[in-house]
């Protein structure tokens, strides 16, 4: 592990700065979420769906429906059109439009993306089946013969067929049982095929779709919607991270041991003082070292920025996190973010309870630093061994400053119980508090269930899961 003499002073900087001996430059606070933006966009998306349905139904005449294969072709066209529109929404959801991400968080967006994804894929699959059946009925030919005719003699159908095959492949791989067997990086690359599939399918919709043939306005609107979607992905997922990374100019300054298998990486950059970030947020980090440059992983900031320094803290669980512990000072760093709605902006009540499972302490540590003094936080830390409670002195200082309390639950799961009864004893007024939970997925699910059982309102439960 490399060490140099960097002074990263973890004592309170923003909300806890009162009483500090000397003024320290701080980064601006993170931007607050504006829920109305998401409500407005949801209405636009719903309006778009109505428009798409109307345009798909309106173009069919009675005689076309009564002709051989007419009903199947109508159903096929409509399912294709709606499927492509839902695919557009699915892509938009993961384009990480900052104003939307700030409200829903990356995990919220991914949840919606996952919830939506079976619909476009199934509808597009149904579209292919109904169109082949309908065209075969109309031409009085066999199914296989009709597939051959469609692919070989209709404009842009070969590309669309390749697109359909890619979509089917990506869809099958995304099934939980299959996905869980793949490395995340493999799954991610396969998932990218969906973008290629949609690009390949685009032209045949305009060339053959009844809603577009002879309807120039509809063609223009559809093309604009897809251009805007592709533009959002390119802008927010590629260009913005590159521009921000160049502006921040981050490099690794120090890798510091914090506990068993846990290191903090302290980065420095010339633009950190302009970084608007809330405690609890995370970046997708790309370390430009030989084995790491090709993958970005999410790690929370474990403290608010101390310009020119920024700190992340990583527990070794696999290849990437192990390699992070071996980073050398001087390694350049690219970041995408900050992301996440697990921030003080989510707070609904005056007082809070913060519950961390293991390395979930990282996000809770920076969130705690960002909470107002009146939040009187009760911090509950669940770890297997006493040494796993990293940042103990920092957490205790931050809690003391806010007149809160710290509880430790130490020991293996089979030996030391942590359930709703224990939680209620530690936080008797939990129903009057916001509950922030962070840690591995299973831990977060358990604690969220406990909070529900203890009567905490849904809107007051906020969580960040360290996994996918």
Interacting residue ranges for ligand FAD, rule: CB under 6 A: 184, 282, 297-300, 313-315, 317-321, 359, 362, 464, 466-468
146 φψ region: left (φ > 0), alpha (ψ -120 to 50), beta (else): alpha
What is the per-residue DSSP string for 41-88? HHHHHHHHHHHHHHHHHHT--HHHHHSTTHHHHHHHHHHHHHHHHHHH
CB of 137 or CB of 336, closer to ligand FAD:
336
CB of 137 or CB of 258, closer to ligand FAD:
258
Q: How far is the CB of 178 from ligand FAD (least distance, A)?
A: 15
Q: How far is the CB of 269 from ligand FAD (least distance, A)?
A: 18
Q: How far is the CB of 441 from ligand FAD (least distance, A)?
A: 7
Q: Using an 8 Å Cβ cutoff, are 331 and 251 in contact? A: yes
Q: Please, which residues have CB within 8 angstroms of residue 254's CB and are 6 or more apart in sequence?
A: 2, 3, 4, 6, 8, 265, 266, 329
CB of 53 or CB of 233, closer to ligand FAD:
233
CA atoms within 13 A on the CB side of 8: 24
Which DSSP symbol is given to 415?
T
Q: How far is the CB of 92 from ligand FAD (least distance, A)?
A: 21
CB of 128 or CB of 341, closer to ligand FAD:
341
Q: How far is the CB of 55 from ligand FAD (least distance, A)?
A: 39
Q: How far is the CB of 311 from ligand FAD (least distance, A)?
A: 10
What is the per-residue DSSP string for 312-359? EEEE--SHHHHHHTTPPTT-EEEEEEEE-S-SGGG--SSEEEEEEEGG
CB crowding 355-394: b at 16 or more within 10 Å, else e:
bbbbbbbbbbbbbbbbbeeebbbbbbbbbbeeebbbbbeb
CB of 74 or CB of 342, closer to ligand FAD:
342
Q: Using an 8 Å Cβ cutoff, are 2 and 254 in contact? A: yes
The residue with its CB nearest to ligand FAD is 318
Which DSSP symbol is given to 170?
H
Angstrom distance (rounded) from CA 255 to CA 329: 8
CB of 118 or CB of 467, closer to ligand FAD:
467
Q: How far is the CB of 141 from ligand FAD (least distance, A)?
A: 48
CB of 271 or CB of 440, closer to ligand FAD:
440
Q: How far is the CB of 355 from ligand FAD (least distance, A)?
A: 16
Angstrom distance (rounded) from CA 465 to CA 360: 8
Q: Whose CA is closest to 56, among 193, 200, 222?
A: 222
Q: What ranges make up the beta strands (E) of 361-411?
A: 378-383, 405-410
CB of 289 or CB of 424, closer to ligand FAD:
289
- 187 phi/psi in degrees, rounded to 5: -60, -40
119: exposed, middle or buried (Cβ count in 10 Å: 0-12, 13-18, 19+) = middle
Q: How far is the CB of 466 from ligand FAD (least distance, A)?
A: 4
CB of 181 or CB of 415, closer to ligand FAD:
181
């Amino acid at each position: 592990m490399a060490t140099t003499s960097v002074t990263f002073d973890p004592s309170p900087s923003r909300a806890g700065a009162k009483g500090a001996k000397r003024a320290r430059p701080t980064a601006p606070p993170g931007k607050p979420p504006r829920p109305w933006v998401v409500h407005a966009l949801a209405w636009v998306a719903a309006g778009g769906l109505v428009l798409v349905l109307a345009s798909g139904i309106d173009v069919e005449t009675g005689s076309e429906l009564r002709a051989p294969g007419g009903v199947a072709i109508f159903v096929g066209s409509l399912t294709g059109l709606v499927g492509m529109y839902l695919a557009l929404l699915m892509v938009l959801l993961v384009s990480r439009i900052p104003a939307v991400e700030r409200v829903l968080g990356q995990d919220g967006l991914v949840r919606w993306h996952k919830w939506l994804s079976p619909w476009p894929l199934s509808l597009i699959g149904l579209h292919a089946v109904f169109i082949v059946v309908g065209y075969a009925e109309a031409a009085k030919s066999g199914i296989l013969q009709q597939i051959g005719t469609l692919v070989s003699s209709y404009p842009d159908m070969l590309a669309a067929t390749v697109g359909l095959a890619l979509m089917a492949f990506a869809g099958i791989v995304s099934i939980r049982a299959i996905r869980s067997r793949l490395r995340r990086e493999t799954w991610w690359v396969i998932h990218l095929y969906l973008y290629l599939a949609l690009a390949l399918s685009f032209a045949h919709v305009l060339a053959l779709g009844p809603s577009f043939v002879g309807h120039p306005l509809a063609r223009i609107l559809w093309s604009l919607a897809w251009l805007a979607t592709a533009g959002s992905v390119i802008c927010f997922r590629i260009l913005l991270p590159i521009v921000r990374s160049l502006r921040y100019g981050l490099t690794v300054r120090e890798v510091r041991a914090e506990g068993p298998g846990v290191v903090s990486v302290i980065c420095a950059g010339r633009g950190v003082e302009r970084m608007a970030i809330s405690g609890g947020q995370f970046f997708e980090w790309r370390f430009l070292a030989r084995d790491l440059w090709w993958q970005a992983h999410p790690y929370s900031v474990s403290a608010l920025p101390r310009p020119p320094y920024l700190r992340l803290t990583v527990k070794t669980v696999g290849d990437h996190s192990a390699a992070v512990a071996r980073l050398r000072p001087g390694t350049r760093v690219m970041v995408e973010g900050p992301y996440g709605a697990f921030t003080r902006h989510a707070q609904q009540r005056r007082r809070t309870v913060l519950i961390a499972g293991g390395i979930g302490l990282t996000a809770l540590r920076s969130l705690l630093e960002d909470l107002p003094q009146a939040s009187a936080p009760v911090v509950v830390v669940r770890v297997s061994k006493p040494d796993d409670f990293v940042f103990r002195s920092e957490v205790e200082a931050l809690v003391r400053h806010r007149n809160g309390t710290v509880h430790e639950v130490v020991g293996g799961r089979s030996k030391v119980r942590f359930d709703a009864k224990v939680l209620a004893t530690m936080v008797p007024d939990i129903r009057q508090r916001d509950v922030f939970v962070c840690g591995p997925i299973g831990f977060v699910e358990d604690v969220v269930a406990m909070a529900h059982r203890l009567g905490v309102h849904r809107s007051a439960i906020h969580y960040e899961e360290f996994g996918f």
